[in-house]
């Protein structure tokens, strides 16, 4: 759910940037800006309160750059 919200939020905010550069009317830009900011806050809340569980710790380092434990 969090990933889908992040994609939608990103799309809205990129669309806002494109429409602002094309000089769309202010009410449309304002609506997109407010909607994007509210969606961003909601997305951050959903991602941080997600029931994601992992067995990895900081000792596991990064998956794409493993540490030699010799």
The model's confidence at residue 65, banded by pLDDT at 50, 70 and 90, is low
CB-facing half-sphere around the CA of 17: CA atoms within 13 A: 5
| Alpha helices (H) in the chain, listed in sequence order | 2-21, 26-48
Alpha-carbon dihedral angle through residues 44, 45, 46, 51, given to the nearest 10 degrees: 110
- Biggest CA-to-CA distance, the chain: 62
Per residue in 13-47, pLDDT (tens digit) is 999 999 999 999 999 999 999 999 999 999 999 98
Mean pLDDT across the chain: 86
Whole-model pTM: value is 0.67
């Amino acid at each position: 759910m969090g990933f889908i919200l992040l994609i939608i939020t990103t799309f809205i905010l990129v669309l806002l940037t494109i429409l602002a550069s094309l000089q769309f009317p202010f009410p449309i830009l304002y609506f997109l800006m407010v909607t994007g900011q509210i969606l961003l806050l909601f997305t951050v809340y959903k991602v941080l309160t997600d029931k994601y569980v992992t067995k990895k710790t900081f000792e596991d380092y990064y998956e794409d750059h493993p540490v030699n434990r010799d």
